[in-house]
Amino acid sequence: MEKILITGGAGYIGSHTAVALLEAGYQPIIIDDFSNSEKSALLGLKKITGQDIPCYEGDCNDAEIMDRIFTENKLSGVIHFAAFKAVGESSMLPLKYYTNNISSLLVLLATMNKHNVENLVFSSSCTVYGQPDKLPVKESTPRKKAESPYGNTKKICEDILVDQVNSKVALSAIALRYFNPIGAHTSSEIGELPLGVPSNLVPFVTQTGVGIRKELTVFGDDYDTPDGTCVRDYIHVMDLAEAHVKAISHLKGKEAPFYDIFNVGTGNGNTVMDVIKGFEKVSGKSLNYKVGPRRPGDVVKVWADTTKINQELNWKARFNLEEALRDSWNWQLALSKNNS
C-alpha cells in the first residue's frame, strides 16, 4: 500500500480524509500535536476502519520528528492540513498563525525535498478570494487582500508553493481551496470538534440545538442576497475528503515540477437562513435564533465554480445541504450522549 502522510490528521478534515484514503487503498500515516483535536478521533477512526492508523504525536514545525517520519516510512505523498484556522483569533495573535501555518509548510517542503518525496496536497481556502467581484468564483479569479492574518497565511503558503515549483525543485503540488466544510462521517464516529465557542455557523447551530448555546445570532439580514443573510458554499466533509484522494492520484500522473489549484465546493450558494431551515427540518427542532447587526469583515456571498475540479479531477460533490446538516446533527447528538 502506498503511504500518504497526513499532517493534522486527527483534525476535522484530516480524519475524514484518512478514512477516504484507506477506502481507496492507501495507507495513511498521521502526524498531529493535538493542539486542536483530541485523541478520541483516533478511536473513532479505528471504529470506522477496523485499523489502528499509525499516528506520530508531534509538531510538524519540528524538523527532527518530520525527518524521522520520512526515514521510517517510504511516503508517496503528503497532505498538509496542520495549521491554526480560527479567523478571529488570528487577528489577536497574528504571530501564532504566521509561525505555525507558514513555518510548518517550510519544514515540510525541506523534508520532502531531502527525502525525494514529490507529491503534496495543500489545504487552502476560499478566503483567498475575499469578496469576489463575479460569482461563482473560478480558480483564475484574482485573489484579494486577505481580511485576516489567517487568510494571509493561506495566500503566503500558496505563493511559497508557486516559488518552490518555479525554482524547478522536484515538487508536484495541488492547492485545494475549500469552501465551507460541514457535516461528519455518517457513522457519527468522527466529526468537527470545536474547542470553546465555535466560530463556524453549523457547529454553533447544532450546539444551540442541543442546548449548549442559548441562542444563535444571525449577523445581518439586510444584505443583497435572496433572504438578506450571507451566502456560502457548504461542502460535506466526506466529499471534501474524497477530493483529496482524487488530488493525490492526479499528482501521481504528473511530472514534477507541477502546481495547480482547484476549488472544492458544491457550486451552490446557501444563505444562513437556508442552513437554519435545513437544520430545523432534519432535527425536527425549532432553533432559537435572533437577527443581530452585520459583523465587520464578513464576506457577503461566495460560492464556487467547480467546473475545473469536475472535469480535471473527475470529482463532484455527492451530498446536498440537508444531508450534510443531518450528519452534523447526528454527530452533535453522539457527542452530547458521550459527554453526558
Ligand X SMILES: NC(=O)c1ccc[n+]([C@@H]2O[C@H](COP(=O)([O-])OP(=O)(O)OC[C@H]3O[C@@H](n4cnc5c(N)ncnc54)[C@H](O)[C@@H]3O)[C@@H](O)[C@H]2O)c1
Site for ligand X, rule CB under 6 A: 7-8, 10-14, 31-37, 59-61, 81-83, 85, 100, 104, 123, 125, 178, 181, 200
Active-site residue, selected from the candidate residues 26, 56, 150, 223? 150
The residue (of 106 and 170) whose beta carbon lies closer to ligand X is 106
Q: Is 144 left (phi over 0), alpha (psi -120 to 50) or beta?
A: beta
> Smallest distance, Å, CB 11 to ligand X?
2
How many Cα neighbours within 13 Å face the side chain of 154?
A: 28
Side chain identity, residue 246 = K
Residues with Cβ within 8 Å of residue 84, at least 6 apart in sequence:
35, 36, 90, 96, 97, 100, 101, 150
> Smallest distance, Å, CB 193 to ligand X?
7
97 is a catalytic site residue: no
Please identify the residue of the shown chain whose CB is closest to the bound ligand X. 11
> Smallest distance, Å, CB 240 to ligand X?
9
How many Cα neighbours within 13 Å face the side chain of 104?
A: 26
> Smallest distance, Å, CB 101 to ligand X?
7
Residues with Cβ within 8 Å of residue 43, at least 6 apart in sequence:
none
Burial bucket for residue 50 (CB in 10 Å: 0-12, 13-18, 19+): exposed
> Smallest distance, Å, CB 284 to ligand X?
26
The residue (of 103 and 170) whose beta carbon lies closer to ligand X is 103
DSSP string, 112-161: HHHTT--EEEEEEEGGGG-S-SSSSBPTTSPP---SSHHHHHHHHHHHHH
Residue 84 CA to residue 73 CA, distance in Å, equals 26
Q: Which strands, in side-by-side order, build the sheet including 3-7? A: 55-57, 27-32, 3-7, 75-80, 119-125, 172-178, 258-264
The three cell numbers locating residue 300: 457577503
DSSP string, 101-114: HHHHHHHHHHHHHH
Side chain identity, residue 71 = T
The residue (of 7 and 164) whose beta carbon lies closer to ligand X is 7
The residue (of 191 and 253) whose beta carbon lies closer to ligand X is 191
The residue (of 14 and 77) whose beta carbon lies closer to ligand X is 14
Would you say 2 and 31 are in contact if contact means Cβ atoms under 8 Å apart? no
Burial bucket for residue 182 (CB in 10 Å: 0-12, 13-18, 19+): buried
The residue (of 200 and 225) whose beta carbon lies closer to ligand X is 200
Residue 328 CA to residue 11 CA, distance in Å, equals 15
The residue (of 86 and 165) whose beta carbon lies closer to ligand X is 86
- For the annotated catalytic residues, the residue numbers are 150
